[in-house]
Amino acid sequence: MSSTARQTQADSVAPTSPTSRSPFLRAARGETPDHTPVWFMRQAGRSLPEYRAARQGVGMLESCMTPELIVELTLQPVRRYAVDAAIFFSDIVLPLKAVGVDLDIKPGVGPVVASPVRTLADVEAIPDLEASHVPFVIEAVRGLVDELGETPLIGFAGAPFTVASYLVEGGPSKDHARTKAMMFGAPDVWAALLAKIAGIAAAFLEIQVRAGASAVQLFDSWAGALTPSDYRDFVMPHSASVLRQVGELGVPRIHFGVGTGNLLPLMGEAGADVVGVDWRTPLDRALDLVGPRAVQGNLDPTLVFAPTEVMTARAAEVIEAGRAARGHIFNLGHGVIPSTDPDQLKRLTEFVQGYRPAG
């Protein structure tokens, strides 16, 4: 990274930044905010009627490549819920599309890759990501920072294992058989592929931070399919590479995976400042696993369908457990379910922000 780029990054997270004293960033840094900050993964999505209206007739990838729409969809949950952070509206495979990989996101299916990766030549054919590939991202982030004011914007990227799985399988997979076959049977191709994806992910996050994002999240949807030893040997070095490169930018780094209770110690070691915890692992147990780091999570997403008093009672348990952490950012243990009632999520947000310990 050039000295000019480093200065640009440093300026974006300077202590005089409007977001620097936000509850979200204070918790991510291990400080004590005035209230437990809260945001929700997939908070901009199909649960919002305004989201469905804005995306009417517009494909997912087109939505992720249109600056005005990115800004609108990112801002919608901030307007509705007054959450403590916005998450940049994008998709895990967007950087691949931007560099020229032939893929599409098919409704009801997910990302589908026309020519799955099988060989070293396939890996070498994937270009590295440059800022010139994603001018729409830069424009959208700058517009969002202007609109958000004191509310931080979280940059977003898919982690190497998850993105690799889509490239190798050609689409979503329940057993990741082809992915693991490459990992175990063609380790040279696997290592080259994950190094390529790690470089793309780091560049994508850097571009967002350079444009003004205040934090980043590395999202690993499928890492829970791995044993701890396989994660450590075949995946962790590449996720650590992304986190290390982003660490040079001076912004908090969140690392989240689904079904990763058995991987939490390693995910902490990979270098994140904040480890996301899904709902399957009690938060108090997770604190013993992630080390001296802040945590994010981890209310079961289905609890928003329970009576409000049940939901808030369970949320209080999560908040109380989080008080023992170096820092705690309240979130669901995965993304917002599309059929969630937005009014219930609003009640949950207000409860978390207004929560004060008894006595």
The phi and psi torsions of 39 (rounded to 5 degrees) equal -145, 170
Whole-angstrom Cα distance, residue 236 to residue 325? 23
Neighbouring residues of 331: CB distance < 8 A, sequence distance ≥ 6: 38, 39, 40, 41, 276, 296, 297, 298, 299
Residue 22 tokens read as: 């936000």
The number of beta carbons lying within 10 Å of the beta carbon of residue 358 is 5
Whole-angstrom Cα distance, residue 336 to residue 339? 8
CB 261 within 8 A of CB 298: no
Q: Kindly calculate the radius of gyration of the chain based on its CA atoms and give it in whole angstroms.
A: 19
Which residues share a beta bridge with 342? Answer: none
CB 253 within 8 A of CB 225: no
Catalytic center residues? 42, 46, 55, 91, 166
CB 136 within 8 A of CB 70: yes
CB 159 within 8 A of CB 98: no
Whole-angstrom Cα distance, residue 167 to residue 183? 13
Residue 180 tokens read as: 């693991």
Q: What is the DSSP letter of 124?
A: H
CB burial string 109-124: b at 16+ within 10 A, e below: ebbbbeeebeeeebbe
Q: Is the peptide bond before 298 cis (omega within 30 degrees of 0)?
A: yes
